[in-house]
A = this chain, B = another copy of it.
Amino acid sequence: MAYRATQRTRANAEARRAGIERAARHVIARGGFASANVAAVAVEADCSAGSIYTYFSNRDELLRLVFAQAAGHELDVIAGTVAEASTASEIAESTVEVFVRRAVAGRRLAHALLLEEVPEPVQSERLRLRRGYVAVIGTALDRVGGTQIPAEVAARSIVGCVGENLVDILDPTTANPSPAEIETLVKALITFTRSALGEP
């Protein structure tokens, strides 16, 4: 016997794995999933293409993990703010505010997470996460009560409204939206979703 994996070895391995994930996240945030080929991630992670396969079974799996982390974090943020809301209006308001502002702040990444064409395993994850948003908002709406329609439909509708209005704004081929434009949109969406939920 002459070699055995040690504490440090494993810590290093974990650091490498995390480094590759971070690299992939950066590449995606810069150029979307389309640009996140194995070679590009390897360059960013400062390792070889082959090495990536020591830590991840394949490219799709790596992308799926990175997607799940990033999108999961966004979901947590929304869940946090929605949990504090005590009326349907507040739920609508905080959802729109957080969603739109965070998307605009991290435009390219938001586009990748929400809209870009992705490999199938990532798409499944995206649908899972979207169901997560619906669940979080739907549960909150149920808690505060007073909606005339099924909370799930209301929650989905809110997600749909906001998402659809971000399509052009997040388009990587167009210039950054002006702050004024964003203010108008946020205000309008809040008005729209509030009245939709039957609040004045």
Contacts and interface: CB of A to CB of B under 8 A. Distances in A.
Count the copies: 2
Contact of A184 (B150, B159, B191): B150
A193 B157 CA distance: 9
A172 to B, nearest CB: 13
Nearest to A198: B195
A161 B159 CA distance: 8
A173 to B, nearest CB: 10
Interface stretch (A12-20, A41-49, A163-171): A163-171
A167 to B, nearest CB: 7
A149 B191 contact: yes
Contacts of A196: 192-193, 195-196
A87 interface: no
17 contacts: A127-B167, A149-B191, A149-B192, A150-B184, A153-B165, A153-B189, A153-B192, A154-B188, A156-B165, A156-B167, A157-B160, A157-B161, A157-B165, A159-B164, A160-B160, A160-B161, A163-B164
